Amino acid sequence: MKRFHFRLARVLRAREIEEEIAREAWARSVARANAAAEDEEAARRALDGAHRELLELEQSAPGRPLSPTAILVGHRALDRLRREIAEKAELALTARSQAATMETAWHDRSAQRKGLSELEARARDRHRKEARREEDAERDENALREHGRRLAREKIDLTSSRSEGTAEEGRSGPRTP
């Protein structure tokens, strides 16, 4: 029997490589999404901190109101932080969306590879069964051949013992018990 050869082995190997590349791309996109979410959270903490500082500044001098310039600067800083949070939130959303797209691509590649792996397993199983059938047929053929030889030897032995017995009878007469 010939050695097992899967005709789509190269395609399977290519699918395995594509799956690995897709998995790595997904992992990188998840890392980017996590980093973007951390950046967004850091910006939110900075805004909360700026709010607290502005409140503390206002409460530090209860009798003296803050100058309009200080209030304006504080609110501009808060507005800048809010815009930064909005930008970072948009980046985080985009990164999560890309990660989801990459995950889908990875699962698609994985499904393609699994399909080819299943085809290979079936082909390997068919090859094994065919090899077993051929081995069984060869054993049967050898057994039949050996049985035929044994019968031929027995026939020759039987024929020669009959001819010897007939020759002895002819010389000395029939045998009586």
> How is the chain split into domains, by residue range?
9-126
What is the C-alpha separation between 112 and 68, in angstroms, rounded? Answer: 66
What is the C-alpha separation between 85 and 121, in angstroms, rounded? Answer: 52
| pLDDT for the residue numbered 166 | 58
pLDDT, mean of residues 154-161: 78
Q: How many CB atoms lie within 10 A of CB 82?
A: 14
| pLDDT for the residue numbered 89 | 95
| pLDDT for the residue numbered 53 | 87
| Residue 108, phi then psi, degrees to nearest 5 | -60, -45
Instruction: Look up residue 157 and give its amino acid.
Output: D
Nearest CA to 113 out of 2, 6, 17 is that of 17
pLDDT (tens digit, 9 = 90+) per residue, 38-64?
999 999 999 999 999 888 877 876 777
CB 88 within 8 A of CB 38: no
Model confidence at 149: pLDDT above 60: yes
pTM flag (> 0.85): no
CB 51 within 8 A of CB 81: no
Q: Note the Cα 105 to chain centre separation in Å.
A: 14
Which residue would you say has higher pLDDT here, 37 or 61?
37
